Amino acid sequence: MYPAAFEYHAPASVADALKLLGKLDDAKILAGGHSLIPMMKLRLAQPKHLIDLRKVAGLTGIKEDKGMIAIGAMTTHWEVESSKVLKSKCPVVSETAAMIGDPAVRNKGTIGGSLAHGDPAADMPATVIALGAEFVCQGKKKRTVKVDDWFKGIMETALGEDELLVEIRVPALAKGTGAAYLKFPHPASRFAVVGVAAVVTLDKEGKCTKAGVGVTGAGTHAVRAKGVEAALSGKKLDAAAIEAAAAKAADGVDVQADLQGSEEYKAHLCRVFAKRAIEAAVKRAHA
């Protein structure tokens, strides 16, 4: 398989990468290459230039920073999956990474690549929505984008053409908070046919004081399930309350029928996986 010809660049700094991005016509950033190269092999993408970030210093690693956990954009799915910091402060991010593709995909693919790419069936988008993550982008200026402003359409995000995604920030889970991500994987690719992440905070009486729910796979891009969140907030989360909230999981999702299933089927999966993810999150919040 030979992709169309291109020129290859491997700058050593963010500044040099941005310079190339501004100067070159039809250039694409290359991170782990595990979304871009498959598309190039099928000639669905034929960029004239690739700017590889592998030599750029300072884009990898996971560290705590003011109650948040900062994850460098070039951190691989495996590094996220096996991170001690994430496993203790926000395990749902590690668990989500561990569900991406297969071990070899996770050794190359990066969290920044997944979130910059915005595949409608990617896993991490659901989890970062439920958590209320932030995206640090570097162009001429540095700016931080809230997750609710990030996903715009099929493979379309708030990232500017002349910007790099440099860091993803997720909150450390507060006391009394539980989180879970569950998906129905496509049997061949392992992408999410539907995936739901839920984050709930309970007070001493077991009442829900805060809820975040993200849905991926079903629509053109991952979305926040606002109806579910509203139905969870302020309630004691018993089986009936969870069931009633999860019933709203497909509301406001522009569910797309495709080879994997009809609209009704995928909407049904949203409700089923919302229920399971909320149940798992509540159990963890109690623990």
Partner 1 sequence: MKHSVKMTINGQTQSHEVEPRLLLVHYIRETVGLTGTHVGCDTSQCGACTILINGQAVKSCTVFAVQADGAKITTIEGLAKNGDLHPIQQGFWEKHGLQCGFCTPGMILAAYQMLERYPKPSEEQIRHQLDGNLCRCTGYHNIVKAIQWASEHMAGAK
Q: Which helix (H) or strand (E) holds 85?
A: helix 84-89
Place of tokens 């991010």: 93
Kindly write out the interface string for residues 60-89 of this chain, putting x where it contacts ligand FAD by CB under 6 A and - elsewhere.
-------------x----------------
Region from 33-41, 171-179, 250-258, 266-274 binding ligand FAD, contact rule CB under 6 A:
33-41
- Rule CB under 6 A: say whether 38 interacts with ligand FAD: yes
Q: Which residue, 204, 198, 134, is CA-closest to 175? A: 204
| CB of residue 77 to partner 1, shortest distance in Å | 12
Distance separating alpha carbons of residues 154 and 51, to the nearest angstrom: 23
Of residues 55 and 63, the one with the C-beta less far from partner 1: 55
The number of residues in the chain equals 287
Distance from C-alpha of 144 to C-alpha of 134, rounded to nearest angstrom: 6
- Work out which of 11, 18, 28, 199 binds ligand FAD, going by CB under 6 A: 28
Contacting residues for 175 by C-beta, under 8 A, at least 6 apart:
none
Q: How far is the CB of 44 from partner 1 (least distance, A)?
A: 11
Binding of partner 1 at residue 24 (CB under 8 A)? no
For ligand FAD, give the closer residue by CB, 167 or 279: 167
Label each residue of 146-195 as H, E or C.
EHHHCEEECCEECCCCCCEEEEEEEECCCCCEEEEEEEEECCCCCCEEEE
Give the one residue of 67, 103, 160, 234 binding partner 1; rule: CB under 8 A. 103
54 binds partner 1 (CB under 8 A): yes
CB of 163 to ligand FAD, least distance (A): 7
* Six-digit token string for 226: 């606002």
Q: Which residue has the tokens 């099928």?
A: 42
Helix, strand, or coil (residue 144): strand
Count H helices, E strands: the chain? 11, 14
Residue 119 binds what, of ligand FAD, partner 1, none (CB under 5 to 8 Å, by partner type)? Answer: ligand FAD
Question: Both tokens of residue 38?
Answer: 């498959």
Q: Single out the residue of 90, 100, 173, 223 in contact with ligand FAD (rule: CB under 6 A).
A: 100
247-261 exposure pattern, b = at least 16 Cβ within 10 A, e = fewer: bbbbeebebeeeebb
Residue 94 interacting with ligand FAD (CB under 6 A): no
Q: In this structure, are residues 109 and 35 in contact, taking their beta carbons and an 8 Å threshold?
A: yes
Query: Looking at 105-113, 122-130, 156-164, 231-239, which segment touches partner 1 (CB under 8 A)?
Result: 105-113
Q: Does 164 bind ligand FAD (CB under 6 A)?
A: yes
Q: Which residues bind ligand FAD (CB under 6 A)?
A: 28-36, 38, 73, 100-101, 105, 109-110, 112-114, 116-117, 119, 122-124, 159, 164-165, 189-191
Q: Which residues bind partner 1 (CB under 8 A)?
A: 1-8, 10, 30, 33-34, 37-38, 40-42, 50, 52, 54, 78, 101-105, 107-108, 188-190
